[in-house]
Amino acid sequence: MTSYFIRRFLLIIPTFFGITLITFLILQIVPGGPLEMEIMKIRMGGNKGGTESGSGGNSTQNIPQSAVDELTKFYGFDKPIQERYVIWVTNLLKLDLGKSYVYAEPVSDVIVSRFPVSIYFGLIGFILTYLICVPLGVYKAVKNGSTFDFISSALVFIGYAIPGFAFGALMLVLLG
């Protein structure tokens, strides 16, 4: 039993590095990062005529190379990807989540400022779950094999099969 816990505990290390590596690579590869957003802001700010759509073509068009180099250095994209990963993981282990590219403030402050809303919705969901599910489970146990048991089980299976984002969009269409 002890060896099982030791093995499971030691699996935390490769799992952590695997998850952080995949997350980091996705954040680096996906277009529309902070550098592209800043370049787009500069392009849109300098383009008063509104003739360009902002899609396609060279994203650094009409921007001095020195400005692009400065932004690249500011966001740390001038360093090799391995060095950026090591810096990112080191900061992550120190619980330094960095600065938000969108809100220009520490990510931890952004999380803390949104925390009360998350707690509110989490508690509401928790309370509703137990107010509905416990009595429903007791009633299903008492009426095992009945039509109510069959229909409620079917609804539960359908509910599990529908992804949360799709159900949310459906509720917005139906109720919004």
pLDDT digits (tens, 9 = 90+) for 117-176: 999 999 999 999 999 989 999 999 999 999 999 999 999 899 899 999 998 999 999 998
Higher-confidence position of 32 and 115: 115
The answer on 161 and 75 residing in a single domain is no
What is the predicted pLDDT for the residue at 48? Answer: 46
Whether residues 10 and 72 fall in one domain: yes
Neighbours of 40 (CB within 10 A): 14
* Residue numbers of the domain that contains 20: 2-105
**Number of separate domains in the chain:** 2
pTM given for the model: 0.60
Same-domain pairing of 127 and 58: no
Query: Are residues 57 and 10 located together in one domain of the fold?
Result: yes
Q: What residues contact residue 103 under an 8 Å CB cut-off, 6+ apart?
A: 110
Same domain, 93 and 30: yes
Contact 106/97 with Cβ under 8 angstroms?
yes
**147 in the same domain as 164:** yes
Are 73 and 45 within one domain? yes
Boundary residue ending a domain (83, 105, 127) = 105
Residues 133 and 65 in one domain: no
